[in-house]
Structure 1
């Protein structure tokens, strides 16, 4: 079959790559077209344009690029029509992918459309599911409580597991090698600083995270800070952190990132999927997030849950402390970090919540990419 896939950011690129691998395994005649990044391209996808053009988030961030994004939406929809695929698969990034799907459906109402990663209607804007059902037939959900929400809106939906639950994690040997390579004492706490994968996130959260970590180091002088980053923002991160008094160890390579996670004792992270990566590695964490002022106000009006941290949601606990919007300030972040590092009951509660989360996300089961591929093929070849 011919598959047209659209991913708009680093996490979607990874999901797309795993899905492509599963599709190639189950469908030897599979061919791919669309928009993707460095994970999807080596598997046979020639991206229409650089995927990182789509890695923007929030009303304030999108407005300056609106006309350009609108042109990319039209270009992508035209490419779908010309490619005449058997299925269109939009991966995360619904603001872009679903606009493309709407244009395509107007010309190809018969084309099967699948969306990978259900929108977070449990958190805000529940009407999005019904709106999505106008252009999407089937949803691949990565959180176990999402299928009923999608089905209620009129779409079929399969929980296919979350990739982080079955991903390999490095063990103590790699942790020791990482510490040795960077001159970190065996008993020095390693703290990960994870301010996000988008330029706007890094610019907004980076200085606050740095200040929080400086305050933590005033009380725990032996800590070493490690900042894993991604190619799209690595240059910006390196330029920014040269001015940080905390002087973090900046790493970019995926193998070294896994080793850093194995070595870490604590993390300060932006809200998002990274909290699940930390949970898979059993790293206690503090979550912080903020947006541009306009976006913050709008999201604040629409938010329907008291937590956005996925570990809290999946485990049905509130074990992971989070500081959102105006609460995302260095003082509270620093105090929560010290408690997560030095308070055994709090660490234990987080670790238990993490283990429960990984079990519920599919740990020990079939690879999510393969499950997703099987769901795609069934949705396309099964009864309409």
Structure 2
């Protein structure tokens, strides 16, 4: 696979199937553009943060935003068509490197076919599938499809290196994100918010099924809190993949909802929030970085939940809790994700400053000690490794 950087404009083919990977990919792109003095070119599949850098996606990735074991089945023929479209695009464009980010189940299907075609293109995957949580068998076969794995967490490489795969811990992207840099005053002013308003940010997820199960629960939770706190103000940062679904749903709410768009406004909302209620996912790390006390909720179809209980072998779903091996961020899952219980938990948090402060200090410690590898930014470490495949 001797690729020379003598190639003046290396072409990197990005495979980014979900919005969680989109932000990570855009940070990588910025770093790689800097590392190659602006010579690198990008093509493939990506989301909105990437498009802000001028990236043109082969198709809109929001149709891939389907979550849950059962929920995915009806979409299979459409999915196979998309997979073939990506493979044909790769054959046509002959990139120097393929970099897939997150969504391993989608990327793996593409990369399997790429390997079959014997295209001899180095393949690197960014974000290890969570084999320590479920489906551990995936660690054994990844070396067949990729040449290198870039891991976000320190404990991950060991699961893959023992199965012939080069794997490196590069650090978690939340470290370099702007989650803690939101502008409080601007946001308050722009949205006519007062200092004595009780501001809560709600984040019902970025996948259609997350929103389907969580938004109605969040609505009822807000109703309960609003009855108790008339000064409650609700902010909901929109995500492109589910934006229209969310906007339709909140029209009928009893409480007026302030919506925001884009990463910057989301962080401004965080800077102005006393508490938050979020779907389980990366956003919880951002809230911790922004020092917003929060709880996470998660709900899937009963059948998916039943299967998950049998397949998943971890005590916690929240990354901060997993790394600390204790519940720092309250997790309200499945039958515990009920409006009455969520409202109760949030109410305790509103009333009790020591609960809020404890969560902030404990989660900050995890962020600072477990999520970065030395002083180099994660995206720069990733760039360095990808670049080594061009030499």
TM bin, normalised by shorter chain, reads over 0.9
| Superposition deviation, residue 80 in structure 1 | 1.6
Alignment partner of 1:209 out of 212, 218, 225: 218
1:137 aligns with 2:147: yes
Alignment partner of 2:133 out of 123, 133, 137: 123
Q: Which whole-Å deviations, capped at 9, do the CAs of 1:52-89 have from their partners, x for residues lacking one?
A: 12111113322221101011111111222222222211
Q: Distance in 2 between matches of 1:363 and 1:342?
A: 37
TM-score (norm 1): 0.93
| Superposition deviation, residue 38 in structure 1 | 2.3
What CA RMSD, in Å, does the superposition of the two structures yield over aligned residues? 2.0
Deviates more, 1:118-127 or 1:51-60: 51-60
1:175 aligns with 2:160: no
| Superposition deviation, residue 364 in structure 1 | 8.8
| Superposition deviation, residue 169 in structure 1 | 4.2
1:312 aligns with 2:329: no
Deviates more, 1:241-250 or 1:23-32: 23-32
Query: Is the Cα–Cα contact under 8 Å of residues 206 and 239 in structure 2 kept in the other structure?
Result: yes
1:91 aligns with 2:98: no
Q: Distance in 2 between matches of 1:299 and 1:153?
A: 25
The runs of 4+ residues in structure 1 deviating greater than 6 Å are none
Q: Distance in 2 between matches of 1:145 and 1:215?
A: 41
Q: Following superposition of structure 1 onto structure 2, how do residues 48-63 of structure 1 map, counting pairs within 5 Å?
A: 48-63=58-73
1:100 aligns with 2:103: no
Aligned to 1:224, the other structure's residue is in SS state: strand
Aligned to 1:40, the other structure's residue is in SS state: helix
1:291 aligns with 2:291: no
Q: Distance in 1 between matches of 2:139 and 2:180?
A: 38
1:376 aligns with 2:386: yes
Aligned to 1:147: 157
Q: Which whole-Å deviations, capped at 9, do the CAs of 1:115-173 have from their partners, x for residues lacking one?
A: 1111111211111211323212211111222122222332111221222112234658x
| Superposition deviation, residue 42 in structure 1 | 4.5
Q: Distance in 2 between matches of 1:109 and 1:240?
A: 46
Aligned to 2:4: none
1:66 aligns with 2:66: no
Change (3 A) 1:30 1:253: closer
1:41 aligns with 2:51: yes
Q: Which whole-Å deviations, capped at 9, do the CAs of 1:75-115 have from their partners, x for residues lacking one?
A: 11122222222221111111111100001011226332111
Change (3 A) 1:76 1:65: same
Deviates more, 1:290-299 or 1:40-49: 40-49
TM-score (norm 2): 0.91
Query: Is the Cα–Cα contact under 8 Å of residues 311 and 353 in structure 1 kept in the other structure?
Result: no
Equivalenced residues, count = 380
| Superposition deviation, residue 31 in structure 1 | 2.2
Aligned to 2:263: 254
Query: Is the Cα–Cα contact under 8 Å of residues 166 and 364 in structure 1 kept in the other structure?
Result: no
Query: Is the Cα–Cα contact under 8 Å of residues 328 and 363 in structure 2 kept in the other structure?
Result: no
| Superposition deviation, residue 268 in structure 1 | 0.5
Q: Distance in 2 between matches of 1:46 and 1:176?
A: 35
1:25 aligns with 2:19: no
Change (3 A) 1:364 1:350: farther
Aligned to 1:6: 15
Change (3 A) 1:91 1:217: same
Give the gaps of 5 or more residues in structure 2.
1-9
| Superposition deviation, residue 3 in structure 1 | 1.3
| Superposition deviation, residue 219 in structure 1 | 2.7
Change (3 A) 1:94 1:279: same
Aligned to 2:135, the other structure's residue is in SS state: coil
Aligned to 1:365, the other structure's residue is in SS state: coil
Q: Distance in 1 between matches of 2:332 and 2:365?
A: 23
Deviates more, 1:357-366 or 1:324-333: 357-366
Alignment partner of 2:275 out of 263, 266, 273: 266
